[in-house]
Amino acid sequence: MSDVNSSSETIPRSEEKFFLTIVIVLAVVVGLGSWIAVIAFSAKDKNSGLAPDHARRLENFSFIDQTGRAITHADADGKILAVSFLFTSCSLTCPEVSRSMAEIQRRTASSADVRLLSFTVDPRSDTPPVLAKWGERFGADTNRWFLLTGDKAELHRVIGNSFLAVETNNPFNSMPGNFAGTERIAVVDQRGNVQIYFDGLRVETPGAVVREIERLRKE
């Protein structure tokens, strides 16, 4: 009787082990395949940038920077701009994008024709003192890198019209203003035209932005 029970238990246990082995192998294969796909996609897309969805220009604006100064469109006239978007309660993508901006600032330290702008999408929380702390965290030069806040409706108007599309039908978009692509860094030419976007989360982006700046200087 005991031999029968032992035999009947061995079969399902063997099946369980076999099934578990198959699951583990599949998980490894799928994971490895995804990793290879990501690497290949990154290599293919490296430094290519993304063109605007339609012709975009930096609209007239007047906002307050991290020092409490008024920064207007006149401060950007004739300059090449690197433009990013943030909200300081963001703990994942926004710090990485700001690190990219800090590297762009470092690489263009001697470039009098370059300015960096970072527009908050959450001005209710991102007051000048809050933005000042954020700027200090990333070494923002207050004479060259302006972290901008102001009236919410006006900020969202300028961001939406000048830079980013709005996802009105995406229930999973928790971004203030429902903007898409807030991880991007835009490059704006001397005439205020948005030329290209780069992924602010990529380590190669600061170099790509600097090369785009150099290209614009030659035009």
Q: Is the pLDDT of residue 24 over 80?
A: no
36 versus 14: which is more confidently predicted? 14
> Rounded distance, CA 118 to CA 105, Å?
12
Q: Global pTM?
A: 0.77
> Rounded distance, CA 159 to CA 144, Å?
20
- The set of residues, in sequence order, having a beta carbon less than 8 Å from that of 158 and lying 6+ positions away, is 59, 61, 119
Instruction: Provide the pLDDT for residue 53.
Output: 93
CB atoms within 10 A of CB 207: 15
pLDDT digit string, tens, across residues 153-203: 999 999 999 999 998 776 655 677 789 999 999 999 999 999 999 999 999
pLDDT digit string, tens, across residues 79-92: 999 999 999 999 88
> Rounded distance, CA 21 to CA 91, Å?
38
- The residue among 47, 56, 35, 67 whose CA lies nearest residue 159 is 56
pLDDT digit string, tens, across residues 44-54: 445 679 999 99
> Rounded distance, CA 94 to CA 107, Å?
20
Class for the domain spanning 62-218: alpha beta
Instruction: Provide the pLDDT for residue 16.
Output: 54
Q: What is the mean pLDDT of residues 9-36?
A: 48
Q: Where are the domains of the chain?
A: 1-45, 62-218
| Alpha helices (runs of H) in the chain, residue ranges in sequence order | 2-45, 93-107, 128-137, 152-162, 205-218
Q: What is the mean pLDDT of residues 88-109?
A: 96
> Rounded distance, CA 107 to CA 109, Å?
6
DSSP label at residue 211? H
E strands within 53-113? 62-64, 70-72, 80-86
- The residue among 21, 95, 78, 109 whose CA lies nearest residue 118 is 95
- Hey, what are 21's tokens? 């082995």
Q: Whats the size of the chain, residue-wise?
A: 219
